[in-house]
Structure 1
């Protein structure tokens, strides 16, 4: 067999495998941000003591946000990683941060039990609330991810060209 044809076939094989490999690596990088609590080597801002979770850790109580990070689209020229869904509408707010006012819809609140009294419920009227949620980025382009993708890509080509 012609070595030029064999070489071209191996390069084509690597090129077709590369987008999916990059997608999986980028997804995994984004998911590990939750355990490392950092992005591109910079730690996330600490939680205020008022908001320390009783269970779980920063941004991980149920694991829904971390679990929502997924490969959304893979083409030969583009890879898209997404997060959030109808059960996790707050993904973008945590990834980008948010400062502003939000409307809190009217709802019923259960009050804690006091002594032997039964739990009470109260009606809360619709109102606005000022919010300041610092950015705790877990996905996006960054030099650290680019280095990882470069390393993985080089390993792929080295393994195919052996």
Structure 2
């Protein structure tokens, strides 16, 4: 086994191990041990990155070169979710926010006799969510919206531990192969 084969095996094993761990970050709702910031709106439906599962499924099989492993997503918003940052509100975004507001607000049940919203937990949750969408829709075009970092792929001490473990296992295998070939 030559050096190139050893390094390719290490990259293949690292690819497998890290892909599994990065996928588990969605189950943990954290970047290893660093929990994702929760939605700042009350009564929202779960973590932003796991509601539909689209983001998790968008992580494509990593590409491997002689020295690197690169993960990517086919969804443009996953990069800003992973890194955090600011985005500019567009007219199209405002239309989406209004559509979501009307969709959520339409689900609120009203008491016809009292001409008021029925006092239920579901209505309270929907009302809070409707207010979130309305607040976002009311922002002028060009306003900067801060997107909190919810990292799921990247540098972390756990990544280094996994890489060290993969290298150690492969080097022990190389050592064993050398011992066996020297015995012959």
Aligned to 1:101: 88
The structure carrying a bigger helix percent of its residues is 2
The structure carrying a bigger strand percent of its residues is 1
What are structure 2's unaligned runs of at least 5 residues? 113-136, 177-184
Where do 1:10-159 residues align within 5 Å? 13-50=5-42, 52-53=44-45, 57-83=47-73, 85=74, 88-105=75-92, 107=95, 109=99, 110=102, 112=106, 127-128=140-141, 129-159=143-173
Q: CA deviation at 1:102?
A: 1.8
Could you tell me how far apart the structure 1 residues matched to 2:2 and 2:175 are? Answer: 7
Could you tell me how far apart the structure 2 residues matched to 1:141 and 1:66 are? Answer: 18
Q: CA deviation at 1:147?
A: 0.9
Structure 1 vs Structure 2 CA RMSD: 3.0
Q: CA deviation at 1:15?
A: 2.5
* Contact residue 23 and residue 56 of structure 2 kept, 8 A: yes
* Contact residue 82 and residue 152 of structure 2 kept, 8 A: yes
* TM-score, normalised with respect to structure 1: 0.69
For residues 120-145 of structure 1, the C-alpha deviation after alignment (integer angstroms, 9 at most, x for no partner) is xxxx9xx5254222111111122220
* Contact residue 83 and residue 150 of structure 2 kept, 8 A: yes
For residues 68-87 of structure 1, the C-alpha deviation after alignment (integer angstroms, 9 at most, x for no partner) is 2233321221211112x1xx
* TM-score, normalised with respect to structure 2: 0.62
Bigger radius of gyration: 2
What are structure 1's unaligned runs of at least 5 residues? 1-8, 117-123
